[in-house]
Amino acid sequence: MNPANWRTYLVTQASLSGDRTTPEIVRAAIDGGVDAVQLREKDASARSRYELGRELRELTAEAGVDLLVNDRIDIAQAIDADGVHVGQSDLPVEVARELLGPDAIVGCSTSTVDEARDAEAAGADYLGVGAVYDTSSKDVNDDQAGVGPERIAEIAAAVSIPIVGIGGITADNAGPVAEAGAASVAVISEITAAADPQAVTESLAVAVETPTAVDAGGDDR
């Protein structure tokens, strides 16, 4: 799937899933219409991430949902994922592209206009921009917490590839993120910690598709 067509994007984190497994959370999100799943689990061993990735690959492939791997290009290759997501301290976008080939999806975390332009020039297919709102989740550019929808708008005006807003996003505040120019929103705890991950995924999609109807604190326009 083209990242421009994504609306909801789940980043996995087993520590937030309570007594449920990551595959159970992913299955519920798929039932709710999630468009992309990123295998993260940075605290797990490479072997554990590989085994989990194989299970998620089966689930996502059957549902036609894109599967990406955070950082680990080798694991992405090993499980035949659709692509990889890299951060500013990971392997460069151009290296990921060279290793995975032209058909892979390569995403890159950015929080400034300069980073966004550099990632686009290097061959990224989409940008993960954030943290949009304050967040307690790790690895979401915590040192740039709360850049706001305004930063989404600035970056959207500077690049031509799709933007995925991430960081502190909920169904209640996703509207302004989409309205500012994000094609989709990525969440961790909003889905993973939810009592009903399927319903939350559905609500997020509605918030992105009809932002003015779910604009939290913004003016309808």
In sequence order, the 6+-apart residues with CB closer than 8 A to the CB of 116 are 110, 127, 129, 155, 158, 159
Angstrom CA distances, 179 to 5, 154, 163, 174, 207, stand at 15, 12, 12, 9, 10
The answer to the question of whether 54 is labelled as a binding residue is: no
The answer to the question of whether 202 is labelled as a binding residue is: no
Tokens (6 digits) for 161: 């590839």
Rounded-to-integer distance, Cα 152 and Cα 138, Å:
20
Q: Which residues are catalytic?
A: 40, 109, 138
The answer to the question of whether 88 is labelled as a binding residue is: no
Burial class (CB in 10 A: 0-12, 13-18, 19+), 43: exposed
Rounded-to-integer distance, Cα 46 and Cα 77, Å:
13
CB atoms within 10 A of CB 89: 7
The answer to the question of whether 118 is labelled as a binding residue is: no
The answer to the question of whether 136 is labelled as a binding residue is: yes
The answer to the question of whether 138 is labelled as a binding residue is: yes
The answer to the question of whether 217 is labelled as a binding residue is: no
The answer to the question of whether 38 is labelled as a binding residue is: yes
Binding-site positions for Mg(2+) read 71, 90
Binding-site positions read 38-42, 70-71, 90, 109, 135-138, 168, 188-189
